[in-house]
Amino acid sequence: MIEKLEYLLDSLATAVIVIDDKLRICYANLSAQSVLELSDNQLVGFPVSQFISHDSLSLDRLGAALKSHEGFSDSEILLAFCDGRHILADVTVTCFERNNSEGLSIEVKAIDQQKRISQESQQWAQQQAARELVRGLAHEIKNPLGGIRGAAQLLEKQLHSFELEEFTQVIIEQSDRLSNLVDRLLGPNSPPNFQWCNIHQVLEKIRTLVQLDSAYNIEIQRDYDPSIPDMKIDQDMLQQAVLNMVRNSVQVLSEQTYPGEILIKSRIKRQLTIHGVKHPLVAQIKVIDNGPGIPEEIKDTLFYPMVTGKSNGTGLGLSIAQTLIDHHRGKIDVESWPGHTEFKIYLPIDKKESTS
């Protein structure tokens, strides 16, 4: 019976946290663990004040509820967590008494999730349209470009003047430059090659690659969840996508006067909706830096091709990353404020068939 109850509580979309009369957590269902980004054994036995910031859900108020045996409800409160994250949520606190002990159950229902999903799918459709437009344009440029280059080469052979050859060289060089840009605009041209592998292998490769680049003296920290199973991914594509994000962090940090920090983190998320499809298990990869944050004026169009905040940027890194993650049926999310930027990649975890 107890097992059945736990199963039921774990299948709820609402986060349920039960605390005792000392305001210590004695139970957290799966949704609560997912909201707090911590596992059962990191929560149970610890004071709730360690995880939820006092000014968003006051401990005095919880204490008063215990004393008076009267619960309370609050809607649309900004619930702040001690690790700096915040969500908009409806919170209901109920008192209970069992076997002479008292406690509170806290129900947290994130209300911005639904809003975010519809906003997300609208943004995604717009980004896709922008990428298609740019890709179409790139394709149109690519064809005549090959002709121009070829013609300049032929012309060069006919010319017997060193001075005039300089001009044909300019045409060839500039065509090559444009051709490189066009190739980047067109994005990956081979279909993904999905293979079962551990995503941490890919993340470690990125860490090594970036740290070997001695131009930047930035240490990359890691915090991996070893329980993430093997996943069916295209390793090169995932590497490129994460690398584009890490490179952005490295570039922005190398311009700061304070020590830069980058953290690559992996976690498992449960019951997550990605582009309208609900997945029971999803891997989350975070790239976090302590840089100045994403410039406000490009926040809304960040993933569009050719949007850049840099004087020498092409603005393709994130748009390419998005295309690569789309191939994996995943999504990218970003949160940024001064001193903290985090990119979050979500990739559905498929079940490995027992025969393979």
Element (H, E) at 253: helix 235-253
What CA–CA distance (Å, rounded) separates 50 from 17? 14
* Window 145-164: contact mask with Mg ion (x via CB under 5 A): --------------------
Nearer to Mg ion, 305 or 317 (CB): 317
Distance separating alpha carbons of residues 353 and 284, to the nearest angstrom: 22
3-class secondary structure, 162: helix
Binding region for Mg ion (CB under 5 A) out of 42-50, 84-92, 235-243, 313-321: 313-321
Alpha carbon 66 to its chain centroid, in Å, reads 39
The count of residues interacting with Mg ion (CB under 5 A) is: 2
For residue 309, the partner it binds in Mg ion, ligand ATP, none, with Cβ less than 5 to 8 A by kind, is ligand ATP
Footprint of ligand ATP (CB under 6 A): 244, 248-249, 252, 289, 291, 293-295, 298, 302, 307-310, 313-319, 341
Q: How far is the CB of 218 from ligand ATP (least distance, A)?
A: 12
Distances (CA, A) of 16 to 9, 180, 272: 8, 53, 17
Residue 206 burial (C-beta neighbours within 10 Å; 0-12, 13-18, 19+): buried
Please report whether residue 260 would count as binding Mg ion according to CB under 5 A.
Answer: no
Asked if 317 interacts with Mg ion (CB under 5 A), we say: yes
CB proximity list for 75: less than 8 A, separation 6 or greater: 90, 91, 111
Smallest gap from residue 306 Cβ to Mg ion (A): 12
291 binding partner (options Mg ion, ligand ATP, none; Cβ < 5 to 8 Å by kind): ligand ATP
Find which of ligand ATP, Mg ion, none residue 341 binds, CB within 5 to 8 Å per kind: ligand ATP
**Interaction between residue 249 and Mg ion (CB under 5 A):** no
CB of 14 to ligand ATP, least distance (A): 33
- Other Cβ atoms closer than 10 A to 183: 13
Please report how close the Cβ of residue 174 comes to ligand ATP at its closest, in angstroms: 19
349 contacts 229 by C-beta, under 8 angstroms: yes
312 vs 356 by CB, closer to ligand ATP: 312
Within 10 Å of residue 65's Cβ, how many Cβ atoms? Answer: 17
Q: Among residues 43 and 252, whose Cβ is nearest to Mg ion?
A: 252
Positions touching Mg ion (CB under 5 A) are 248, 317
